[in-house]
Structure 1
Amino acid sequence: MGKLKFLLARIAGLNWKQMFQKIDEVHEKSGRSKLFIFFDMVWCGLRYQAGYMDYWLFEMYDLNAAQRKTVLTRGINNGFIKAYNDPAYMPEIENKLKFAHNFSEFLHRDWLDYSTASDAELNAFIEKHPVFMVKPVDGQCGRGIEKLDVRELSEPVREYLNGAGKVLLEECVVQHRDLMALHPCSVNTCRVISFTHGKKTRVVAAYLRIGNGKYVDNFNNGGMVVPIEEDRGEIIYPALDKSGHLYDVHPLTGVPIKGFKIPLWDEVIALVERAGQVVPQVGVVGWDVCVTDNGPLLIEGNDYPGHDIYQLPPHRTNGIGVLPKFQKAMSECLEAN
């Protein structure tokens, strides 16, 4: 019933023009007939809850049935969110101000709610941190984030920020020297996906986001992404950007990406497992973690983590997706409770 509801909902909101564009692209890349691709897309929707974007992005046309069963598709991911993330508690993670309050012990940096800050509080923050980050409270994918140096402003800071909407001001974090060498312009964060049920939290998957000339590292904002081996914090694949370019070494710094090891990885895992217990009613969370010389800290949490970035075709071995990892972690947590 769940699969049928997902398929019907997808059909109702289907962008037919975009779907046929993707069919054309798959046809050009694979050489298969457009009619075959159309019906194969429909089959994948019925069998694997995969939308046409999943079919295209994960190159499901090149996967056999056994491999397709391992792909975490949009429909399956939505099902996990619906089953394990209580909507009443999701704002505790999604809203950046609530997140800062709830997870203050994991932030290890100063922050200020601009909407309620007095002039004295703002002046004290600026005096201590003349360069700071400005983040929209409800922003996503790095959109709207600004690194502000008040010494370069030609107007009073209040006047400047009053047009920014509801924002959070944060002390800039300084990443670990190894990550700084990789790309110094941005804070290169680890996205760590966890599953929590009751008193048990398990890390499911992880990947490193790397900037490429900008001060944000998001894949959708010009950055690169590459999976991290959860058991040891090592990178074994080349990084990928949204244009499809692969990088064995960083194009700006020349630092090798393949073989790179995330520093203090055991501490990252421990941090996420502790953070998962703060709001256990939200079971599936994507944590953005910055590793510093003094240890890891949380940047933010995502109560609706995407399913695409950590199982892209160049980052799969033998065509195997991440669904088995989710199933294993969920089984361990559910059995422990």
Structure 2
Amino acid sequence: MIAQVMQDHGVHPLRQMREIFAMRGGKQKLGSNEYYSLRLYDPAIPMAQKREFLGQGGINALNTAMNPPIAVPTRSFVGNKLLYTQLLEQLGIATARTQAISSGHLSVGNMPVMRDAESLAAFLRDDATYPIFGKPYFGSLSEGSVRIDSKEGETLRLANGEARPIADFAAEVMDRYPGGFLFQTALDPHPEMARIAGPAIGCVRVLTANDGSGPKPVYAVWKMPAPTAMSDNFWQEGSLLADLDLSTGAVKSCIRGTGPAAEQLARHPVSGATLEGALLPHWQETLDIAVQAHAVFPEFGVCGFDIAVTHEGPKVLECNDNPSHMLYQMGTGRGLHNPDLAPIWDRVVDRQDKAVARMQAAMKKKR
């Protein structure tokens, strides 16, 4: 990587090392791998702007300051994919319907729970409504997620074209995910989004922040799945990431890949559809549902919502209480501490600092 950057951009290895070490500490906490994946070696980027970027360590620290555990005790509940979506459904906020769960120990009321591979295979064979989407009860980055389009006899047809025997699939799920695996009714993207990016759901990530005046949208990106992927995890090869205009829902720019392999795309590589300027449907409703979901837990300073935009409108799939703003930084080419966003984070942190101070004072009084 060092040699490639030297060859392609004329940045001497010593300069690369100096910049990497300069950004390792403080608020940035930016690792060498992130220096390259974010393309911060580019000599066209002033050092002052490079200082605006955060590594994952810096992102985690900022999120903790905006969602401090003492002031936001509901983080573990919101991180529970099943209970959180069940609550939203009860409150009338659109979300995906969970059909069943497999787990060796969890109990979830009257919802069907498969305790072993045999009962899971029986559910998939006799009771599941297809298409169905499965994902680990615990986990992130879409690891382990799968879309099953149909069942043909004893075979499952996956969205990526694979065919899996039901018994083998059930045994693998129980072996790999003993903590739990959710099976939800699969959603299809709005026809306009499918025309551009294909039939798999590509969620819109809407980041909301609450500085005490109520939740408000801060930024949004569109995660488009790779042609053979079953989820929209940007780290999968071939996935696309679009920066969205917050006021209109229009695609401002779109990238594929990271680091030296990153490329700006004017058209979708498979559909050929024009990307820049494309308007996402149900845009105001998408922002509204993110704000509504955040308002259920106003103690949060920041939330990252993954929202599926369907022909019926937007649906909240999950809430990230420690959202990876790396998506924003990669999709926009701007650091998280840029002049537009830094004042928002400062206000949120100030609000949470005061909340923590009040709670600590109350606890001292009780003693």
TM-score interval, smaller chain: 0.7 to 0.9
Structure 2 gap ranges (5+): 156-164, 353-367
Cα RMSD for the two superposed structures: 3.2
**Structure 1 residues 49 and 260, CA, compared in 2 at 3 Å: closer, same or farther?**
same
Aligned to 2:33: 53
TM-score by length of 2: 0.74
Q: For 2:243 and 2:268, locate their aligned partners in 1 and report how far apart those are by CA, in whole Å.
A: 15
Q: Find the partner of 2:288 among 270, 281, 286.
A: 270
Residue 308 of structure 1 pairs with residue 308 of structure 2: no
Aligned to 2:240: 224
Q: For 2:128 and 2:18, locate their aligned partners in 1 and report how far apart those are by CA, in whole Å.
A: 61
Tell me the CA shift for residue 124 of structure 1: 11
Q: For 2:153 and 2:140, locate their aligned partners in 1 and report how far apart those are by CA, in whole Å.
A: 26
Tell me the CA shift for residue 96 of structure 1: 1.6
Q: Find the partner of 2:64 among 67, 82, 95.
A: 82
Identity in percent: 20
One-letter amino acid of the counterpart of residue 183, structure 1: A
**Structure 1 residues 24 and 178, CA, compared in 2 at 3 Å: closer, same or farther?**
same
Q: Find the partner of 2:102 among 107, 110, 114.
A: 114
Aligned to 1:327: 342
Aligned to 1:151: 151
Relative to total residues, which structure has the larger helix share, 1 or 2? Answer: 1
Bigger drift between 155-164 and 75-84 goes to 155-164
**Structure 1 residues 185 and 253, CA, compared in 2 at 3 Å: closer, same or farther?**
same
Q: For 2:214 and 2:349, locate their aligned partners in 1 and report how far apart those are by CA, in whole Å.
A: 8
Q: For 2:126 and 2:291, locate their aligned partners in 1 and report how far apart those are by CA, in whole Å.
A: 33
Deviations 1:232-271 (A, max 9, x none): 2111213323442332111211111111111111111111
Deviations 1:206-248 (A, max 9, x none): 1111123123222112311111111221112133234423321
Q: For 2:345 and 2:125, locate their aligned partners in 1 and report how far apart those are by CA, in whole Å.
A: 42
Deviations 1:297-335 (A, max 9, x none): 1112222222322223x743xxx4342343243356578
TM alignment of 1:93-172, pairs within 5 A: 93-104=78-89, 105-111=92-98, 112-115=100-103, 116=107, 117=112, 127=127, 129-149=129-149, 151-152=151-152, 154=154, 160-161=169-170, 163-164=172-173, 165=177, 166-172=180-186
Q: For 2:166 and 2:68, locate their aligned partners in 1 and report how far apart those are by CA, in whole Å.
A: 39
**Structure 1 residues 92 and 126, CA, compared in 2 at 3 Å: closer, same or farther?**
farther
Q: For 1:109 and 1:41, locate their aligned partners in 2 and report how far apart those are by CA, in whole Å.
A: 42
Deviations 1:66-116 (A, max 9, x none): 322433443432221121224443322323223223333434432133334
Aligned to 1:296: 314
**Structure 1 residues 250 and 144, CA, compared in 2 at 3 Å: closer, same or farther?**
same
Q: For 1:236 and 1:288, locate their aligned partners in 2 and report how far apart those are by CA, in whole Å.
A: 19
Aligned residues: 312
**Structure 1 residues 55 and 151, CA, compared in 2 at 3 Å: closer, same or farther?**
closer
One-letter amino acid of the counterpart of residue 273, structure 1: V
8 A Cα contact 2:30 2:56, kept in partner: yes
Q: For 2:169 and 2:153, locate their aligned partners in 1 and report how far apart those are by CA, in whole Å.
A: 8
Aligned to 2:214: 200
**SS at structure 2 position matched to 1:98:** helix
Q: For 1:253 and 1:141, locate their aligned partners in 2 and report how far apart those are by CA, in whole Å.
A: 25
Aligned to 1:284: 302
Bigger drift between 180-189 and 241-250 goes to 241-250
Q: For 2:308 and 2:336, locate their aligned partners in 1 and report how far apart those are by CA, in whole Å.
A: 23
**Structure 1 residues 83 and 118, CA, compared in 2 at 3 Å: closer, same or farther?**
closer
**Structure 1 residues 102 and 162, CA, compared in 2 at 3 Å: closer, same or farther?**
farther
One-letter amino acid of the counterpart of residue 109, structure 1: A
Aligned to 2:224: 210
Q: Find the partner of 2:251 among 211, 232, 235.
A: 235
Residue 249 of structure 1 pairs with residue 234 of structure 2: no
Aligned to 1:3: none
Q: For 2:191 and 2:128, locate their aligned partners in 1 and report how far apart those are by CA, in whole Å.
A: 23
Bigger drift between 327-336 and 70-79 goes to 327-336
**SS at structure 1 position matched to 2:24:** helix
